[in-house]
Structure 1
Amino acid sequence: MSGGEGAREHALPTIAIVDDAAEVRSLVRTRLRLSRKLTVVGEAANGAEAVELAREHRPDLMLLDVSMPVMDGLEALPRVLGVSPGTRVVMYSGFQEQGLAHRALELGASVFLEKSSSLDTLADELVAVLNAPAEPLGPVLEQEELDEDAEAAVLREHLERFREVFEDAAIGMATVTLAGQIVRANGALAELLRRPVDALVGTPYAEVAGAAAGRLAVVLQEILDGTSRVVQVEHDVAVPEGRRQVVATLAPVLDSAGRPLYLFLQVQDVTAQRAAEEQLRQSEVRFRLLVENVQDYAIFMLSPEGRVESWNAGAQRIKGYVDDEIIGRHFRTFYPAEVAASGHPERELEIALRDGHYEEEGWRVRKDGTQFWANVLITAVHDQDGRHVGFAKVTRDNTERREMLAQLQRAAEDQAHFLAVTAHELRTPVGVLAGTAETLRAHWSDLDDVERDELLDGMASSATRLRRLLTDLLTASRLQSSALDLAMDRVDVLGVAETAVATAQRIHPDKELVVTGEAGLVIDGDADRLAQVLDNLVSNALRHGTPPVTVAVRRAGDSVEVEVGDAGSGVPEEMRERLFDRFATGASRGGTGLGLFIVRQLARSHGGDAWYRPPVEGAAGSGRFVVSLPLAAENE
């Protein structure tokens, strides 16, 4: 570059780019350089780094993403302006919410741009921000959409389907930044909280939680620390018709490195449920009339000291004692030994006497020593003169119900996590593919070799990521509905393994992959599905393990075993039991959690199986993933 050109470039307005996706920063940086209208002076991956970047460079402009780890864009915005008041901040986000744009402007942003807007006009729009008056320009919400080819259109349709599920859900849902601010809310949540959707966007959920704000701050920190994956906070909500009781469930959406990007929030109205429980606690008269005939509840009286004074048929059925065996004994008899020894039964009576009632769920012991999961309600009983005369105790065996609710909750959590993660997995590669294709088409001759290679590598990586995701989604759906058809033929297992390794090697030329084994081991199977099994295992090793990645094919009796491993430390022990479960992801594994689930199900559909073989204690090397398939008759 000549001295004149250098001076001209130096005189250009300066800009800092803040986004947690490295490929997005690379694409934007390249397009701004090609525009010759702005000079990029620095990049950052989160809000905390953005503040330091502003402090160090005091750029004319800052392009600031909304949802990032450590500190989100909404929290960072006023801090950036605090350390560099002269910087014009442009919020840049994939969230399409009018209310979010207004909130950003209220905090001091000059303009709000969507990531779906055209990169061709980005530089001009940013320069226009500098040339405009000091007051905010207003959000830029309607921009020219990127040209789409057929594949991009299909991917956009899939993303819209996910948005429709979010918007039309009957339960309240929202997307929340790691700092706890709502950036997207559905109609059900707006209806529950009696607020417009636009008013919710940009609002800290702590304001909604009211007195439970302290507990909310604690669980947010637990998610950031990785000590909790899914947490619940129950709290009151003030609405025009009074107060409602809700349960808020928060789950993190993780990036490929297992770091939280933002939070998925579900809010459920439990007012009616809590009211019913309170009504039950207040029904002492009906209790006395019905007690002897109730079979599903153990209902009995305790003395002020906690000794059993009455016994009903339900108590005999649930606990196993007849009245002569239990009346006069202390009710600590029903508790596991360690709980009884801790003084917990006595504390229950103290709380019931102080508050009027005490309720909990926990393990209780029958006469034969077996345990059951009980819902317990203890109510303090007073006579007409207000004197305390004892306690009414109601116990129900909820063992089956507890297991059913646990299964339903796991299914709901898995589905919520899957929808949030899949939407996130689609967003970045779609944006990179579209933006990179347009950049190469319009500026091929302006790019140097390094920039072309960088952009093409990003495109190839994104396309591979999308293809694998869509293949896994389709396969998992067919497996779940038992609609998977296998095109059975004679398949040489070593040949399929060599092809899978060769494909992975082309995508990862810098990684070492080794395949060994015995040729001629033939199975009756679907070659494409077997290739999918090998692709998933090799990709899993490359993504989570340490090269070299090894694939070994060997005979084991009447079966052929394919063993895939790497030089890493292996799978943590706490993850091993759930490795092959649908939607199972570890704290640092990322992804949709379908890959290993598909591996095992495809292996079983061929009459085989898949498992994880942990490393031998004291021996070198990590664990191995093993797929076993029955050999065809010709191998015998």
Structure 2
Amino acid sequence: MTSEMVQTDTLRVVIVDDTADLRELLRFALIRGGMTVVGEAGDGQAGIEMVRETVPDIVLLDLSMPVMDGLEALPHIRALAPEARIIVLSGFEAAQMAERAMATGADGYLQKGTSLGRILDTIRDIVDGRPIGPVPVDTSTRISLAPTTSRPRVAPAPVVEPSALDALSLAPFGVIEVRAEPPYRLVSINEAARAIIDAEARVGEPLHSINPEIAAAIVNTRLTGDVEFEATLHDSPIQVTLRHSATSLLLYLQEIGEALGQVRNAIATTAHEIRGPVAVLCAITETLLEDDLEQVHVDRMLHSISRQARLLDGITGDLLVAAQVQRGTLRIDSQDIDPAVVVEAVIEDQPLHTSLVEVSDRRWIRADPLRLQQMLGNLISNAHKYGEPPVRIRIRPSTEHDCLVCIDVEDQGSGVPEEFRPHLFREFSRAGGTAKVGTGLGLHVVQTLAQGQGGLISYAPGRSGGSVFTLSLPEALHRNDER
């Protein structure tokens, strides 16, 4: 939250948005448009305090933010600054959100993706008393910034290189492995598959005794390639995908209704998560096309491009892991590595946030360095997104298993609601009422990768509030003094 002394003969603006790079771009453009930005905030609660402190003429208010969203903050801002003009910015559900925002006290509504020229014109129209309604996105220009006039702890797995099936055992869809020749005896079955078929299944048992319909479908199917077909279990349709491994057949089971729902939710939430960084990148690109930008502004925008590109890389990385798990192609390249070095690298990739690091265990661990960076990136990013500072990362010995090294990521927020904790690591799961939507994949990916490396992830409430996520991984195969 920042503020500055300003002149009194220009429109004074407060920007409330949780994307720091977008706030910077808006500030840059509004100043070039003849306005003065008197303060910024990254969530609704901080925005209320900033408005209380500065009493601006204009408030640009994002709707989807952590701590307190824009709709909740709006009436408080209206009460603190009754003469101010409040313009709501949002990246989704334009008509519905516009109606709710206007009913709550907004003077205007603009979608993210609207050109800056339209944003500035809307501000001026509102100040001049001309009625303003929701403005459609200008898809030809996008955002143009050109100037205008817990899970229970379990014993760790042995330190071995995991196979694809290690990760598939954790998948939220059913996976059954049977021998490739009749009578297709059971080799393994994960918990999701047991829940779907709702039947006892023992290793070595013929598939037809577990589920005759699926067994019959396999017999009647050419076993020369991957095949998809539908079956009926307990009067409910189910999608079955048959794939081949070297010595067995893999059956992927998913209830069709659930699958369609997950796909729709995944598309909607992922699109929402991606749209913000893409809007910022488009804005920066158009701004950099200007010939009269000072080098200091160019440098700051290039840093913004790097941050937003890394954010997109994290989202697509989680999607890729989820796809690799489903296809059985997830690969882990475990090595002996220093976890402190990886922690520092992840923190350096998040320059807008401050994290405190404490190291009480100097042992190296056995892990895939890129996967570890992905896991820690998700945990630290979540701590900053959903929690409150300070965020602490502790590398310490496990109190339960001598062969494990623990990495705690702790924030000081409100913690995870107790009723949601059993669903915390499930694919596409999100706590109800969470202002920051997210893809619902991050923690699931962390759990999948941790288990695939012989480790585990757990959650516990903080001693003084907040959340503590603990990533536990096996110590290195060789002692530090042997390297």
Provide TM-score, normalisation by structure 2.
0.53
Task: Look up the equivalent residue of 1:416 and give its one-letter code.
Answer: R
Residue 93 of structure 1 corresponds to 111
Cα distance change, pair 575–444 in 1 and its aligned pair in 2 (3 A)? farther
Structure 1 residue 596: deviation in Å? 1.9
Asked if 2 retains the 8 angstrom alpha-carbon contact of 1:553 and 1:562, the reply is: yes
Residue 72 of structure 1 corresponds to 97
Structure 1 residue 36: deviation in Å? 2.9
Residue 414 of structure 1 corresponds to 262
Cα distance change, pair 631–58 in 1 and its aligned pair in 2 (3 A)? closer
Cα distance change, pair 74–478 in 1 and its aligned pair in 2 (3 A)? same
Asked if 2 retains the 8 angstrom alpha-carbon contact of 1:551 and 1:564, the reply is: yes
Q: 1:595 aligns with which of 442, 454, 463?
A: 442
Q: Relative contact order (alpha carbons < 8 A, sep ≥ 6): 1 or 2 greater?
A: 2
Cα distance change, pair 50–144 in 1 and its aligned pair in 2 (3 A)? farther
Task: Look up the equivalent residue of 1:518 and give its one-letter code.
Answer: R
CA distance in structure 1 between the aligned counterparts of 2:283 and 2:82, rounded to whole angstroms: 30
- What secondary structure does 2:57 align onto? strand
Does 1:32 pair with 2:30? yes
Residue 350 of structure 2 corresponds to 507
Residue 612 of structure 1 corresponds to 458
- What secondary structure does 2:99 align onto? helix
Does 1:560 pair with 2:404? yes
Structure 1 residue 143: deviation in Å? 6.3
Asked if 2 retains the 8 angstrom alpha-carbon contact of 1:603 and 1:629, the reply is: no
CA distance in structure 2 between the aligned counterparts of 1:418 and 1:570, rounded to whole angstroms: 24
Asked if 1 retains the 8 angstrom alpha-carbon contact of 2:457 and 2:470, the reply is: yes
Cα distance change, pair 577–411 in 1 and its aligned pair in 2 (3 A)? farther
Does 1:535 pair with 2:377? yes
- What secondary structure does 2:110 align onto? strand
Task: Look up the equivalent residue of 2:57 and give its one-letter code.
Answer: V
- What secondary structure does 1:517 align onto? coil
Cα distance change, pair 90–456 in 1 and its aligned pair in 2 (3 A)? farther
Pick which of 415-424 and 20-29 moved more: 20-29
Residue 470 of structure 1 corresponds to 316
Structure 1 residue 496: deviation in Å? 3.5
Asked if 1 retains the 8 angstrom alpha-carbon contact of 2:391 and 2:410, the reply is: yes
Cα distance change, pair 80–533 in 1 and its aligned pair in 2 (3 A)? closer
Cα distance change, pair 507–79 in 1 and its aligned pair in 2 (3 A)? closer
Residue 57 of structure 1 corresponds to 83
* Number of equivalences: 338
CA distance in structure 1 between the aligned counterparts of 2:464 and 2:120, rounded to whole angstroms: 61
CA distance in structure 2 between the aligned counterparts of 1:535 and 1:506, rounded to whole angstroms: 9
Structure 1 residue 542: deviation in Å? 3.9
Q: Deviations over 1:530-565 (max 9, x none)?
A: 332333333334444453413325477684333313
Residue 430 of structure 2 corresponds to 585
Cα distance change, pair 43–528 in 1 and its aligned pair in 2 (3 A)? same
Structure 1 residue 445: deviation in Å? 4.6
CA distance in structure 1 between the aligned counterparts of 2:379 and 2:36, rounded to whole angstroms: 45
Task: Look up the equivalent residue of 1:597 and give its one-letter code.
Answer: H
CA distance in structure 2 between the aligned counterparts of 1:620 and 1:90, rounded to whole angstroms: 38
Cα distance change, pair 440–412 in 1 and its aligned pair in 2 (3 A)? same
Residue 328 of structure 2 corresponds to 482
Does 1:431 pair with 2:279? yes
Provide TM-score, normalisation by structure 1.
0.42
Asked if 2 retains the 8 angstrom alpha-carbon contact of 1:609 and 1:628, the reply is: yes
- What secondary structure does 1:596 align onto? helix
CA distance in structure 2 between the aligned counterparts of 1:136 and 1:634, rounded to whole angstroms: 68
Cα distance change, pair 540–44 in 1 and its aligned pair in 2 (3 A)? closer
Cα distance change, pair 630–16 in 1 and its aligned pair in 2 (3 A)? closer
Q: Deviations over 1:477-502 (max 9, x none)?
A: 112211123345x322xx13432234
CA distance in structure 1 between the aligned counterparts of 2:273 and 2:25, rounded to whole angstroms: 18
CA distance in structure 1 between the aligned counterparts of 2:423 and 2:330, rounded to whole angstroms: 23
CA distance in structure 1 between the aligned counterparts of 2:123 and 2:417, rounded to whole angstroms: 50
Structure 1 residue 416: deviation in Å? 2.7
- What secondary structure does 1:57 align onto? coil
CA distance in structure 2 between the aligned counterparts of 1:541 and 1:458, rounded to whole angstroms: 21
CA distance in structure 1 between the aligned counterparts of 2:386 and 2:110, rounded to whole angstroms: 31
Asked if 2 retains the 8 angstrom alpha-carbon contact of 1:541 and 1:549, the reply is: no
Cα distance change, pair 518–137 in 1 and its aligned pair in 2 (3 A)? closer
Q: 2:341 aligns with which of 488, 491, 498?
A: 498
Cα distance change, pair 482–435 in 1 and its aligned pair in 2 (3 A)? same
| 1:564-579 to 2 correspondences below 5 Å | 564-566=408-410, 568=412, 571-579=416-424
| 1:258-297 to 2 correspondences below 5 Å | none
Cα distance change, pair 408–561 in 1 and its aligned pair in 2 (3 A)? farther
CA distance in structure 1 between the aligned counterparts of 2:78 and 2:102, rounded to whole angstroms: 12
Asked if 2 retains the 8 angstrom alpha-carbon contact of 1:498 and 1:515, the reply is: no
Asked if 1 retains the 8 angstrom alpha-carbon contact of 2:125 and 2:131, the reply is: no
Structure 1 residue 462: deviation in Å? 3.0
CA distance in structure 2 between the aligned counterparts of 1:570 and 1:38, rounded to whole angstroms: 37
5+ long unaligned stretches in structure 1: 82-88, 95-114, 149-397
Task: Look up the equivalent residue of 2:331 and give its one-letter code.
Answer: D
Cα distance change, pair 466–51 in 1 and its aligned pair in 2 (3 A)? same
Task: Look up the equivalent residue of 1:43 and give its one-letter code.
Answer: V
Q: Deviations over 1:591-630 (max 9, x none)?
A: 2221221122222323x131315369x9999644232337
Structure 1 residue 464: deviation in Å? 3.2
CA distance in structure 2 between the aligned counterparts of 1:440 and 1:64, rounded to whole angstroms: 26
Asked if 2 retains the 8 angstrom alpha-carbon contact of 1:16 and 1:63, the reply is: no
Structure 1 residue 21: deviation in Å? 5.7
Asked if 2 retains the 8 angstrom alpha-carbon contact of 1:18 and 1:65, the reply is: no
Asked if 2 retains the 8 angstrom alpha-carbon contact of 1:513 and 1:549, the reply is: yes
CA distance in structure 2 between the aligned counterparts of 1:78 and 1:597, rounded to whole angstroms: 38
Asked if 2 retains the 8 angstrom alpha-carbon contact of 1:487 and 1:526, the reply is: yes
More helix as a share of residues: 1
- What secondary structure does 1:562 align onto? strand
Q: Deviations over 1:30-61 (max 9, x none)?
A: 313203389982104257559949994376xx
| CA-atom RMSD in angstroms | 5.3
Asked if 1 retains the 8 angstrom alpha-carbon contact of 2:403 and 2:474, the reply is: yes
- What secondary structure does 2:431 align onto? coil
CA distance in structure 2 between the aligned counterparts of 1:620 and 1:547, rounded to whole angstroms: 12
Task: Look up the equivalent residue of 1:35 and give its one-letter code.
Answer: G
CA distance in structure 2 between the aligned counterparts of 1:139 and 1:571, rounded to whole angstroms: 37
Q: Which has the larger radius of gyration?
A: 1
Structure 1 residue 127: deviation in Å? 9.2
